[in-house]
Amino acid sequence: GNSVTQMEGPVTLSEEAFLTINCTYTATGYPSLFWYVQYPGEGLQLLLKATKADDKGSNKGFEATYRKETTSFHLEKGSVQVSDSAVYFCALKWRSGGSNYKLTFGKGTLLTVNP
């Protein structure tokens, strides 16, 4: 079936460190890929997305490239800040039939950035 697998956390980094959170997917057809972020005490919000192979999504210094050959969509940031501490979710949007789409989330990765 269609699914996403993301690296288990928690991930703890020092400020200004490089961040990678791995995400791989299994899907048929041509899915879209997303990263959502959940800050403490809040709901999820879209961080970035990519709708086709080789697309790069970027926002707030975060980037992820849709790699069809490796079925991956890894999230990266060159220099993290304390304010980036949050839970990050990789998600897959796929056609479930007709004009219906489904969004499947990974389990989430908790990132803590220490000053």
Partner 1 sequence: DSGVTQTPKHLITATGQRVTLRCSPRSGDLSVYWYQQSLDQGLQFLIQYYNGEERAKGNILERFSAQQFPDLHSELNLSSLELGDSALYFCASSVEGRANTGELFFGEGSRLTVL
- Can you give the binding site for partner 1, defined by CB under 8 A? 32, 34, 36, 41-46, 49, 51, 89, 93, 96, 99-108
User: Cβ closer to partner 1: 49 or 74?
Assistant: 49
Residue 93: CB minimum distance to partner 1, A:
4
Report DSSP letters for 17-77, one per residue.
Answer: --EEE-EEEE-SS--EEEEEEE-TTS-EEEEEEE-STT-EEEETTEEEE-BTTTTB--EEE
User: Cβ closer to partner 1: 86 or 106?
Assistant: 106
Nearest to 80 by CA among 109, 53, 107: 109
Residue 33: CB minimum distance to partner 1, A:
9
Q: Which residues contact 97 (CB under 8 A, 6 or more apart)?
A: none
Residue 15: CB minimum distance to partner 1, A:
27
User: Cβ closer to partner 1: 45 or 79?
Assistant: 45
